[in-house]
């Protein structure tokens, strides 16, 4: 039983690290602008993501019209699941010393369940997106999601180090970068 929870804990910590990094990226991008994430900054980031995915997936207008509502819904639901999990982990971390074994077990179960929910979201989304995109583009979508996250991490690191990104330092310059 303890081994099960230790394995679950290790898996959770790996995923949490990724979630925290992504959250830090968005926070750092906002701070790097010298202010909170204003509507125009958020719109720029959204436009960047749309261009990034659309270009790399080579979406036709008909595919894009069907793809984006599905993807945006999936992404919002996945982000909510991840934020809920982060909140639960933060609560557990801050209150661990005062929690009983049964509360700790229940929290571990809830954390594991959140990963199951996220996996189910991905499975459901994959089934829906396969109705819109050919199989090769579905596979490529998951690769592009990782490329997008890596690109944001690179840009964050460059901004932290004070290095410009291809001239103006704006994310719209991604076309010239190779992934």
**Number of folded domains that form the chain:** 1
Is the confidence at residue 115, as pLDDT, over 80?
A: yes
Answer whether residue 122 is part of any domain: yes
Is the confidence at residue 170, as pLDDT, over 90?
A: no
Answer whether residue 83 is part of any domain: yes
Say if CB 113 and CB 149 are below 8 A apart.
Answer: no
Angle separating helix axes 39-57 and 61-95, nearest 10 degrees = 120
pLDDT confidence tier of residue 30, bands split at 50, 70 and 90: very low
pLDDT attached to residue 88 = 94
For residue 166, the Cα-to-chain-centroid distance in whole angstroms is 25
- Total length of the chain: 179
Answer whether residue 179 is part of any domain: no
Higher confidence at residue 30 or residue 158?
158
> What's the average model confidence in pLDDT over 149-177?
68
SS3 readout for 83-131: HHHHHHHHHHHHHHHHCCHHHHHHHHHHHHHHHHHHHHHHHHHHHHHCC
Q: For the ranges 92-96, 142-146, 172-176, which has the lowest average pLDDT?
A: 172-176
Structural domain boundaries, residue 75: 2-167
Answer whether residue 21 is part of any domain: yes
Answer whether residue 53 is part of any domain: yes
Structure-block tokens of residue 113: 């369940």
Answer whether residue 178 is part of any domain: no
Answer whether residue 50 is part of any domain: yes
Cβ-proximal residues to 8 (8 Å cutoff; 6+ apart), any chain: 108, 111, 112
Cβ-proximal residues to 112 (8 Å cutoff; 6+ apart), any chain: 8, 12
Answer whether residue 153 is part of any domain: yes
pTM above 0.85, yes or no: no
């Amino acid at each position: 039983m303890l081994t099960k929870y230790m394995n679950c804990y290790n898996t959770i910590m790996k995923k949490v690290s990724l979630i925290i990094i992504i959250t830090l990226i968005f926070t750092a991008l906002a701070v790097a602008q010298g202010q909170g994430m204003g509507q125009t900054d958020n719109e720029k980031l959204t436009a960047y993501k749309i261009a990034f995915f659309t270009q790399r997936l080579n979406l036709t207008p008909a595919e894009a019209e069907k793809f984006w509502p599905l993807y945006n819904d999936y992404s919002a639901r996945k982000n909510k699941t991840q934020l809920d999990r982060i909140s639960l982990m933060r609560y557990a971390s801050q209150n661990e010393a005062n929690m009983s074994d049964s509360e700790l077990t229940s929290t571990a179960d809830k954390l594991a369940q959140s990963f199951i929910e996220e996996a189910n979201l991905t499975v459901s989304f994959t089934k829906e997106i396969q109705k819109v995109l050919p199989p090769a583009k579905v596979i490529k979508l998951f690769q592009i999601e990782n490329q997008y996250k890596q690109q944001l991490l690179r840009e964050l690191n460059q901004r932290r180090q004070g290095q410009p990104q291809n001239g103006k330092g704006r994310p719209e310059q991604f076309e010239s970068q190779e992934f």
